[in-house]
Amino acid sequence: MDAHEIRNAYLDFLERNGHALITRAPLVPRGDTSTLFNGSGMQALLPYLLGEDHPDGRRLTDSQPCVRAQDIEDVGDNRHTTFFEMLGNWSLGDYFKETQIRQFFTFLLDIVGLDPERISVTCFIGDPANGIPRDDEAASIWASVFAERGVSNGIAEIGSQADGDARGVRPGERIFFYDGGENWWSRGGSLEGTPIGDPCGPDSEVFYDFGPEYQDPSFGLAHPASDGGRFMEIGNQVFMQYRRREDGSFEELARRNVDFGGGLERIAAASIDSDDVFRISLLWPIVERLQELTGKRYEDETAAMRIIADHLRGATFLAVDGVRPSNKEQGYVMRRLLRRAIRLALSLDLHENFFGEIVPVIAGLYADDYPEVAAARDEVVAVLVKEEQSFRRTLGAGLQMVQGYAGRVMTGHDVFRLSDTNGFPKELTIEEAGRLGIEVASDWEAEFAAALAEQRARSRGATHLGAAGLPGGDTA
């Protein structure tokens, strides 16, 4: 199945199981200033997970486009993207672990067609200090569904990721217990960081096993939570069954919720048994167009083509949802995506404007499922091409200036000067310096911040002088 078919099959499967299909949320959260983007399917549903009644009922499903800008430095490997779709379903006080585990397993095996021998899962190992037991309930359900499919269902207690790196996976093991660093969900990001009064709980993650030959030994032995490449997470089932009390302890919730999120791109990659998500139907046509435009092979320019494909896909959806390149907040992230794409296009000898060649490909990929992308295509092309033309005028000069630091140590003041005087983004300066082997001072970020603060202070001073009718201001 291709990604389009998987998305529609998932939504149809959940609707047949009594879930209401809800409209995707915009990439920029409405009324939530705590985060720049919707980075998961549950983010827009948080009020309902906290107890409000949803107008569409207690069983919901959708496919939510997401942006996670914190992953930008990881893009270029075989599985990270800043833009992705999250297949989601929720039970708001309705079904719980048994129904959720069985319906996702059924979807993966009977609809997507994954081999159960390639599936491994994780559960929460418990926390005696906080009175939270091991999640034997989820593990028992998993043991049953694996046995019903005739595959091994051995259970292993791992602990932390580091413990797994040292221990690895043993024959017959399929269900793995990890600590709160891996298998506990809260808005605070950890068990100890769970905010007072918040719902929280254990989660159960699902992984696809590409085989031992895919493990990078520099990460230690292979296990599901390893970053070594053999296992890829394709879904996470959060079981919200606790609330943190005022005294920091945890109590059982009267109304327990399920929050499921599955990565569409990663499930699509597993369905074609490819550890490279850029080979799927939503990304490969972009890569193919880059190959046509450059005359270069993906195998020879893998990282650059991956970054360009991801960043332009993300920027396209941001533009559709009303974001415009700027130096603030969402616009800054969008500008950074576009400028990184332009920088790498230059390394592929794409010197002419090329956004206008790529955006129509992206719009075509989503025309059926997100018609707003196709409807805004010409406007998006205009926005992105304008940014491309503007940045190309400063790019060459900035790159030459970075090259001028060869044999020297680049300081934070140097990085600031390139940004302030030449409009060259600090992230690109650091990336280019690394590519050229130019040493950057370890405290460059602190120096950069100090120089920026000093500049802002000068600007405020100039504004005050101007208001008094002195040089630098308008007396009118």
- Residue 184 to residue 239: CA distance in whole angstroms: 9
Residue 474's pLDDT band, with cuts at 50, 70 and 90, is very low
pLDDT at 422: 65
Residues sharing a CB contact under 8 Å with residue 1, sequence separation 6 or more, in sequence order: 9, 112, 113, 268, 271
Q: What is the pTM of this model?
A: 0.86
C-alpha radius of gyration, the chain, whole number: 25
pLDDT at residue 455 is higher than 80: no
What's the mean pLDDT when you consider all of the chain? 90
Residue 427's pLDDT band, with cuts at 50, 70 and 90, is confident
Measured in Å, how far apart are the chain's first and last C-alpha atoms? 67
Specify the residue for token string 């790159």. 399
DSSP 232-256: EEEEEEEEEEEEE-TTS-EEEEEEE
Q: Range with the lowest mean pLDDT among 34-38, 103-107, 271-275?
A: 34-38
* C-alpha dihedral sign at 207, 208, 212, 213: negative
The residues pairing with 378 across neighbouring beta strands, listed in sequence order, are none
The residues pairing with 259 across neighbouring beta strands, listed in sequence order, are 90, 238
pLDDT at 351: 76
pLDDT at residue 450 is higher than 80: yes
The residues pairing with 237 across neighbouring beta strands, listed in sequence order, are 204, 260
* C-alpha dihedral sign at 446, 448, 453, 457: positive
pLDDT single digits (tens) 250-285: 999 888 999 999 999 999 999 999 999 999 999 999
pLDDT single digits (tens) 458-468: 645 443 343 34
The tokens describing 385, both together, are 């091409």
Task: Answer whether 383's CB lies under 8 Å from 325's CB.
Answer: yes
Best CA proximity match to 236, nearest among 270, 202, 265: 202
- Say which amino acid occupies 356: G
Q: Range with the lowest mean pLDDT among 180-194, 318-332, 421-435?
A: 421-435
pLDDT at 458: 62
Task: Answer whether 335's CB lies under 8 Å from 341's CB.
Answer: no
Q: Which long-range contacts (CB under 8 A, 24 or more apart) does 188-196 make?
A: 191/127, 191/130, 191/132, 194/244, 194/250, 195/244, 196/244, 196/245, 196/246, 196/248
Residue 187's pLDDT band, with cuts at 50, 70 and 90, is confident
Percentage of the chain modeled with pLDDT above 70 = 95
Geometric angle at alpha carbon 327, from 338 and 341, rounded to 5°: 10
pLDDT single digits (tens) 229-247: 999 999 999 999 999 999 9
pLDDT single digits (tens) 47-96: 888 888 999 999 999 999 999 888 888 898 999 999 999 999 999 999 99
Geometric angle at alpha carbon 429, from 428 and 434, rounded to 5°: 95
Mean pLDDT of the 32-38 span: 80
- Say which amino acid occupies 206: V
Best CA proximity match to 117, nearest among 149, 139, 148: 149
193 against 90, higher pLDDT: 90
pLDDT at 74: 87
pLDDT single digits (tens) 303-318: 999 999 999 999 999 9
Q: Range with the lowest mean pLDDT among 175-184, 236-245, 334-343, 414-423?
A: 414-423
